[in-house]
Amino acid sequence: MTHDWYPDDFIRDVLGRVKTIAVVGATDNEVRASFYVTKYMTDKGFRMIPVNPGLVGKEVLGEKAYASLKDLPERPDMVDIFRNAEAAGAVAVEAAELGVPVIWMQLGVRNDEAAAKAEALGATVIMNRCPKIEYARLFGEIGRQGINSNIITTKKRPVKAVKKLI
Protein backbone atom coordinates (compact mmCIF):
# COMPACT_ATOMS: atom_id res chain seq x y z
CA MET A 1 0.00 0.00 0.00
CA THR A 2 1.00 3.60 -0.41
CA HIS A 3 2.52 5.22 2.67
CA ASP A 4 2.08 8.83 1.59
CA TRP A 5 -1.31 9.00 3.26
CA TYR A 6 -3.72 6.63 4.98
CA PRO A 7 -7.52 6.68 4.78
CA ASP A 8 -9.10 7.68 8.10
CA ASP A 9 -11.16 4.46 8.12
CA PHE A 10 -8.02 2.36 7.84
CA ILE A 11 -6.37 3.99 10.87
CA ARG A 12 -9.64 3.94 12.81
CA ASP A 13 -9.92 0.22 12.10
CA VAL A 14 -6.33 -0.47 13.23
CA LEU A 15 -6.76 1.48 16.47
CA GLY A 16 -10.06 -0.32 17.06
CA ARG A 17 -8.44 -3.75 16.60
CA VAL A 18 -5.32 -3.57 18.75
CA LYS A 19 -5.25 -3.82 22.53
CA THR A 20 -1.65 -4.49 23.57
CA ILE A 21 1.03 -2.19 22.19
CA ALA A 22 4.78 -2.65 22.71
CA VAL A 23 6.49 0.75 22.88
CA VAL A 24 10.03 0.39 21.52
CA GLY A 25 12.09 3.31 22.77
CA ALA A 26 9.80 3.77 25.79
CA THR A 27 10.84 6.14 28.56
CA ASP A 28 10.04 6.91 32.18
CA ASN A 29 10.97 10.58 31.61
CA GLU A 30 7.56 12.21 32.02
CA VAL A 31 8.14 15.05 29.57
CA ARG A 32 9.31 12.97 26.59
CA ALA A 33 7.01 12.34 23.63
CA SER A 34 7.03 8.54 24.08
CA PHE A 35 5.88 8.97 27.67
CA TYR A 36 3.02 11.23 26.52
CA VAL A 37 1.91 8.59 24.05
CA THR A 38 2.22 5.81 26.65
CA LYS A 39 0.23 7.79 29.20
CA TYR A 40 -2.48 8.90 26.79
CA MET A 41 -3.03 5.48 25.24
CA THR A 42 -3.02 3.82 28.69
CA ASP A 43 -5.77 6.22 29.78
CA LYS A 44 -7.75 5.20 26.68
CA GLY A 45 -7.64 1.55 27.71
CA PHE A 46 -4.68 0.25 25.69
CA ARG A 47 -2.04 -1.88 27.41
CA MET A 48 1.33 -0.21 26.73
CA ILE A 49 4.37 -2.49 27.29
CA PRO A 50 7.68 -0.57 27.56
CA VAL A 51 10.61 -1.97 25.55
CA ASN A 52 14.01 -0.39 26.19
CA PRO A 53 17.20 -2.11 27.43
CA GLY A 54 17.83 0.89 29.69
CA LEU A 55 14.57 0.31 31.56
CA VAL A 56 15.02 -3.36 32.45
CA GLY A 57 14.07 -3.90 36.08
CA LYS A 58 11.77 -0.87 36.04
CA GLU A 59 8.12 -0.24 35.30
CA VAL A 60 6.42 2.50 33.27
CA LEU A 61 2.85 3.29 34.41
CA GLY A 62 2.62 -0.10 36.12
CA GLU A 63 3.87 -2.19 33.20
CA LYS A 64 7.14 -4.14 33.48
CA ALA A 65 9.80 -3.10 30.95
CA TYR A 66 11.61 -5.52 28.60
CA ALA A 67 14.97 -5.23 26.84
CA SER A 68 13.72 -6.25 23.41
CA LEU A 69 10.68 -7.50 21.52
CA LYS A 70 11.81 -11.11 21.68
CA ASP A 71 11.86 -10.96 25.49
CA LEU A 72 8.14 -10.20 25.67
CA PRO A 73 6.17 -13.05 27.33
CA GLU A 74 3.37 -12.72 24.79
CA ARG A 75 3.04 -11.31 21.31
CA PRO A 76 1.66 -7.75 21.29
CA ASP A 77 -1.00 -6.66 18.79
CA MET A 78 1.14 -3.73 17.68
CA VAL A 79 4.57 -2.16 18.11
CA ASP A 80 4.97 1.61 18.25
CA ILE A 81 8.58 2.48 17.43
CA PHE A 82 10.27 5.62 18.82
CA ARG A 83 13.60 5.29 16.98
CA ASN A 84 15.23 7.00 13.99
CA ALA A 85 14.45 5.67 10.51
CA GLU A 86 17.40 3.29 10.31
CA ALA A 87 16.99 1.75 13.76
CA ALA A 88 13.20 1.69 13.32
CA GLY A 89 13.62 -0.33 10.12
CA ALA A 90 15.51 -3.08 11.94
CA VAL A 91 12.90 -3.17 14.73
CA ALA A 92 10.08 -3.30 12.17
CA VAL A 93 11.55 -6.33 10.43
CA GLU A 94 12.24 -8.05 13.76
CA ALA A 95 8.64 -7.40 14.85
CA ALA A 96 7.26 -8.79 11.60
CA GLU A 97 9.40 -11.90 11.97
CA LEU A 98 7.96 -12.37 15.45
CA GLY A 99 4.49 -12.21 13.92
CA VAL A 100 3.38 -8.83 15.32
CA PRO A 101 0.39 -7.91 13.13
CA VAL A 102 0.67 -4.09 13.23
CA ILE A 103 3.90 -2.09 13.03
CA TRP A 104 3.77 1.64 13.61
CA MET A 105 6.65 4.11 13.13
CA GLN A 106 6.35 7.51 14.78
CA LEU A 107 5.75 10.90 13.23
CA GLY A 108 8.80 11.95 11.21
CA VAL A 109 10.03 8.36 10.83
CA ARG A 110 9.71 6.49 7.57
CA ASN A 111 11.63 3.49 6.18
CA ASP A 112 10.01 2.18 3.00
CA GLU A 113 12.44 -0.69 2.51
CA ALA A 114 11.78 -2.10 5.98
CA ALA A 115 8.05 -1.51 5.52
CA ALA A 116 8.05 -3.59 2.32
CA LYS A 117 9.88 -6.44 4.10
CA ALA A 118 7.49 -6.34 7.06
CA GLU A 119 4.49 -6.26 4.73
CA ALA A 120 5.85 -9.26 2.83
CA LEU A 121 5.86 -11.08 6.16
CA GLY A 122 2.17 -10.24 6.59
CA ALA A 123 2.32 -7.15 8.85
CA THR A 124 0.27 -3.98 8.46
CA VAL A 125 2.63 -1.00 8.50
CA ILE A 126 1.87 2.64 9.35
CA MET A 127 4.68 5.22 9.20
CA ASN A 128 5.18 8.92 9.95
CA ARG A 129 2.12 9.05 12.21
CA CYS A 130 1.54 9.24 15.96
CA PRO A 131 -1.12 6.91 17.41
CA LYS A 132 -1.96 9.46 20.13
CA ILE A 133 -2.57 12.20 17.57
CA GLU A 134 -4.51 9.85 15.32
CA TYR A 135 -6.66 8.60 18.18
CA ALA A 136 -7.38 12.13 19.36
CA ARG A 137 -8.03 13.27 15.79
CA LEU A 138 -10.34 10.42 14.78
CA PHE A 139 -12.32 10.34 18.00
CA GLY A 140 -13.01 14.03 18.27
CA GLU A 141 -10.68 15.08 21.04
CA ILE A 142 -7.94 16.91 19.20
CA GLY A 143 -10.11 19.85 18.16
CA ARG A 144 -10.45 20.72 21.83
CA GLN A 145 -6.99 22.26 21.65
CA GLY A 146 -7.63 24.10 18.41
CA ILE A 147 -5.93 21.42 16.29
CA ASN A 148 -7.27 20.82 12.78
CA SER A 149 -8.51 17.20 12.66
CA ASN A 150 -9.29 17.42 8.93
CA ILE A 151 -12.48 15.52 9.69
CA ILE A 152 -15.87 16.54 8.34
CA THR A 153 -18.79 14.72 9.92
CA THR A 154 -22.47 15.27 10.61
CA LYS A 155 -22.52 12.44 13.16
CA LYS A 156 -22.45 12.89 16.91
CA ARG A 157 -18.98 11.51 17.52
CA PRO A 158 -18.63 8.84 20.19
CA VAL A 159 -15.45 10.08 21.84
CA LYS A 160 -14.79 6.83 23.69
CA ALA A 161 -15.70 4.48 20.85
CA VAL A 162 -12.39 2.64 20.77
CA LYS A 163 -12.20 2.15 24.50
CA LYS A 164 -15.64 0.53 24.41
CA LEU A 165 -14.59 -1.77 21.58
CA ILE A 166 -11.66 -3.29 23.39
Partner 1 sequence: MTDESPRSFGFETRAIHAGSAPDPATGARATPIYQTTSFVFEDVDEAAALFNLQKVGFIYSRLTNPTVAVLEEKLANLEGGVGGTCTSSGHAAQILALFPLMGPGDELVASKKLYGGSLNQFANSFPRAFGWKVTFVDPDDPENFRKAITPRTKALFIESLANPGGVVCDIRAIADVADAAGIPLIVDNTMATPYLCRPIEHGATLVVHSTTKFLSGHGNSVGGIVIDSGKFDWRNGKFPALSEPEPGYHGLRFADTFGHLAFTIHGHAIGLRDLGPSMAPLNAFLTIAGVETLALRMERHCANAKAVAEFLKGHPAVAWVNYAGLPDSPYHALAKRYLPNGAGAVFTFGLKGGYEEGVRMVESVELFSHLANIGDTRSLIIHPASTTHRQLSPEGLKAAGATPDVIRISVGLESVDDIIADLDRALNKLG
Q: Which residues bind partner 1 (CB under 8 A)?
A: 4-5, 7-8, 30-33, 36, 39-40, 43, 107-108, 128, 130, 133, 136, 140-159
Strands 63-64 and 59-60: antiparallel
Looking at the Cβ atoms of 62 and 73, the one nearer to partner 1 is: 62
- Helix, strand, or coil (residue 18): coil
- Please, what is the minimum distance in Å from the beta carbon of residue 166 to partner 1? 18
Give bridge partners of residue 103 from the DSSP assignment.
79, 125
Looking at the Cβ atoms of 55 and 107, the one nearer to partner 1 is: 107
CA–CA gap between residue 126 and residue 107 (Å, rounded): 10
Looking at the Cβ atoms of 156 and 164, the one nearer to partner 1 is: 156
Looking at the Cβ atoms of 9 and 74, the one nearer to partner 1 is: 9
CA distances from 111 to 7, 84, 118, 128 (A): 19, 9, 11, 9
- Please, what is the minimum distance in Å from the beta carbon of residue 62 to partner 1? 12
Could you count the other beta carbons within 10 Å of the beta carbon of residue 51? 25
- Please, what is the minimum distance in Å from the beta carbon of residue 76 to partner 1? 22
- Please, what is the minimum distance in Å from the beta carbon of residue 80 to partner 1? 15
CB 123 within 8 A of CB 101: yes
